[in-house]
Amino acid sequence: MTDSEQLAEQQLLGYFHAKRGYGLIDLIINMGLSKKEWKSINKEVNLDITEQERTEVEEHFSKKIFS
């Protein structure tokens, strides 16, 4: 699978996940995103994300089990 196909697959999976009513934290948990991966993505990638969503993710990863 090419990089562009992988990106499209990831975007479609995220879309269908949201369409079925799951939230951002559900998506993060289901994809197994780690705190370290989030920090890297948050720093390196230009995310189309609101400050409220960013805060929600930061709060999720600030919980004791993720520290």
CA angle 54, 57, 59 (to 5 degrees): 110
Task: Tell me what the mean pLDDT of segment 8-26 comes to.
Answer: 93
Place 19 in a pLDDT band, splitting at 50, 70 and 90. Answer: very high
The model's pLDDT over 29-67, given as tens digits with 9 standing for 90+, comes to 988 999 999 999 999 888 889 999 999 999 999 986 654
Q: Which residue has the tokens 């998506």?
A: 27
Q: Which residue has the tokens 């995103």?
A: 33
In the chain, where are the structural domains located? 23-67
Q: Which of 28, 52, 22 is nearest to 41 (CA)?
A: 28
pLDDT of residue 66: 55
pLDDT of residue 65: 67
pLDDT of residue 24: 94
